[in-house]
Amino acid sequence: MANVIVIGAQWGDEGKGKITDLLSRSADVVVRYQGGVNAGHTIVVKGQTFKLHLIPSGILYPDTECIIGSGTVIDPQVLITELDQLDKLGISTANLFIAENAHVTMPYHRMIDQASEEHRGNYKIGTTGRGIGPTYADKSERTGIRMLDLIDPQGLREQLNWTINYKNAILEKLYDLPPLNPDEVIEQYLGYADRLRPYVVDASLKIYDAVRLRRNVLFEGAQGTLLDLDHGTYPFVTSSNPVAGGACVGTGLGPTIIDRVIGVSKAYTTRVGEGPFPTELDGEIGELLCSLGAEFGTTTGRKRRCGWFDAVIGRYAARINGLDCLAVTKLDVLDQLPEIKVCVAYEIDGERCEHFPASSRRFARCRPIYKTLPGWQVSTENCRTWEDLPRQAQDYLKYLAELMEVPIAIVSLGASRDQTIILEDPIHGPKRALLHADGTPASLLSA
């Protein structure tokens, strides 16, 4: 029995979808604990591509229960589209459950998200425009609509009548936008409620019961560590807590039930939206990574910014999440490069810095200090064991593990399930390698 959290160790889009899909094989329950339809997982099974925004990727396994936890924000319209899409593909959603206390994204959230981005000018965040920030803001302001409100017709009418009038004042006076018609929105959302009502449960209780029966629970984070509201590159972050700690808050489970935390990191770095990115590559190599890695957002289709692997943020992610092991994805994207750089530290205002700075202004002044490693210049996409990998690729991976002080359990070399090398059991493997008494790191790569 193991309860495992899978998180993104960079700025999101690390390939968590594939890794959680892989780990879902041995999970009885998969729980998404934060974020909304800003996320997007692309999963390829038997040549078919699935794009999921809210529903955990475990839905592809017929016996796995999938739960959308209380820390998420739910856009009912998008969720219903996903349900329809799965239905068409013949994938059952009978095992899907939605937390009654998850918050609901409303049309005014999307409108305010997009309008406020325009008003921000140079201070733009580059949000996905899906209403995520305003939905979480309402949650904090205590004016949010929860799933349990959505499925209570009388309560929903009363609450929305008041809220839409309040939001209309903001839309009209602040953003010069046309007001929403409360009756139309209420009718539309009552329709969504009818469709979603059967899925709504006390999710905390459901997960707790599974844990007590010693079933395996996989907690799936969306976005990544550097997009965390508290620990990311604020203000260029999302409005939830993708870090491992968010899994407990976003489900209503205590931290003592968590057995392991797995980080997912690309073999290089990408970021979407605004904000500093020290290892960003503007030229030819950045373009190459973008095209070979198909680096376009699943949700918005935006081109992702690409750069070298940044071990400073890697170490930070290892610390903030308490990583036990790492899955390195998209190693094959580096196949053609004659040499590969890794950022080992920053230089800020003439001084060497080993740690991620909390200030975005300071972070923007960080210049990467690189170590250059030789590339392997052969295809790795058909490698299936550690021994199959070219020596330079092995050395590269060993170096990342050493810099992050986290053992690598999984290496991914393509989108398909079989393009994967398992180096150690990611779920039942040893706990995170700690330092030996003399201060040297314990063995980091099991191969």
Q: Are 59 and 24 in contact (CB under 8 A)?
A: no
Cβ-Cβ contacts under 8 Å for 111 (sequence gap 6 or more):
131, 171, 175, 177, 180
Task: Quote the CA–CA distance of 69 and 251 in Å, as a whole number.
Answer: 5
Is residue 265 within the footprint of ligand IMP (CB under 6 A)? no
Cβ-Cβ contacts under 8 Å for 22 (sequence gap 6 or more):
410, 417, 420
Is residue 272 within the footprint of ligand IMP (CB under 6 A)? yes
* Only segment of 7-15, 60-68, 310-318, 436-444 that touches ligand IMP (CB under 6 A): 7-15
Choice between 3 and 128, CB closer to ligand IMP: 128
Query: Which residues from 114-153 bind ligand IMP, rule CB under 6 A?
Result: 125-128, 130, 132-133
Site string for ligand IMP, 177-216 (x = CB under 6 A): ----------------------------------------
DSSP per-residue codes, 62-88: TT-EEEE-TTBEE-HHHHHHHHHHHHH
- State which of residues 211, 227, 400, 415 lies at the interface with ligand IMP (CB under 6 A): 227
Q: Which of these is catalytic: 28, 41, 53, 149?
A: 41
Total residues at interface with ligand IMP (CB under 6 A): 21
Choice between 17 and 429, CB closer to ligand IMP: 17
Is residue 273 within the footprint of ligand IMP (CB under 6 A)? yes
Q: Are 72 and 102 in contact (CB under 8 A)?
A: yes
Q: Are 35 and 289 in contact (CB under 8 A)?
A: no
Peptide bond into 235 cis (omega under 30): yes
| CA–CA distances in Å: residue 182 to residues 110, 136, 153, 188, 341 | 16, 21, 14, 10, 55
Angle value at C-alpha 198, between 193 and 203, nearest 5 degrees? 100
Residue 290 corresponds to which tokens in the numbers above? Answer: 């973008």
Task: Quote the CA–CA distance of 188 and 75 in Å, as a whole number.
Answer: 12
Choice between 126 and 179, CB closer to ligand IMP: 126
* Only segment of 9-17, 256-264, 306-314, 386-394 that touches ligand IMP (CB under 6 A): 9-17
Task: Quote the CA–CA distance of 113 and 373 in Å, as a whole number.
Answer: 42
Choice between 32 and 432, CB closer to ligand IMP: 32
- Is residue 13 part of the annotated active site? The answer reads yes
- State which of residues 6, 13, 356, 366 lies at the interface with ligand IMP (CB under 6 A): 13
Task: Quote the CA–CA distance of 345 and 298 in Å, as a whole number.
Answer: 31
Is residue 109 within the footprint of ligand IMP (CB under 6 A)? no
User: Whole-number minimum distance, CB 41 to ligand IMP, in Å?
Assistant: 9
- State which of residues 39, 112, 444, 445 lies at the interface with ligand IMP (CB under 6 A): 39
Element (DSSP H or E) covering residue 114: helix 107-120
Choice between 272 and 328, CB closer to ligand IMP: 272
| CA–CA distances in Å: residue 303 to residues 234, 280, 345 | 21, 13, 27
Choice between 10 and 419, CB closer to ligand IMP: 10
Residue 288 corresponds to which tokens in the numbers above? Answer: 């190459």
- State which of residues 38, 105, 159, 251 lies at the interface with ligand IMP (CB under 6 A): 38
Report the DSSP beta bridge partners of residue 66: 30, 96
* Only segment of 93-101, 231-239, 247-255, 358-366 that touches ligand IMP (CB under 6 A): 231-239
- Is residue 436 part of the annotated active site? The answer reads no
Q: Are 130 and 110 in contact (CB under 8 A)?
A: yes
User: Whole-number minimum distance, CB 381 to ligand IMP, in Å?
Assistant: 24
Nearest residue to 316 (alpha-carbon basis) of 447, 227, 378, 202: 227
The residue at minimum Cβ distance from ligand IMP is 273
Choice between 300 and 446, CB closer to ligand IMP: 300
Choice between 12 and 407, CB closer to ligand IMP: 12
Choice between 54 and 445, CB closer to ligand IMP: 54
Q: Are strands 48-52 and 41-45 parallel, antiparallel or unpaired?
A: antiparallel
User: Whole-number minimum distance, CB 213 to ligand IMP, in Å?
Assistant: 32
Is residue 6 within the footprint of ligand IMP (CB under 6 A)? no
Q: Are 56 and 31 in contact (CB under 8 A)?
A: yes
- State which of residues 238, 265, 412, 420 lies at the interface with ligand IMP (CB under 6 A): 238
User: Whole-number minimum distance, CB 300 to ligand IMP, in Å?
Assistant: 7
Cα 228 to the center of its chain, rounded Å: 10
Q: Which of these is catalytic: 13, 21, 75, 310?
A: 13
Report the DSSP beta bridge partners of residue 310: 343
User: Whole-number minimum distance, CB 8 to ligand IMP, in Å?
Assistant: 8
Residues engaged in binding ligand IMP (CB under 6 A) = 11-13, 38-40, 125-128, 130, 132-133, 222-223, 227, 236, 238-239, 272-273
Q: Return the active site residues.
A: 13, 41
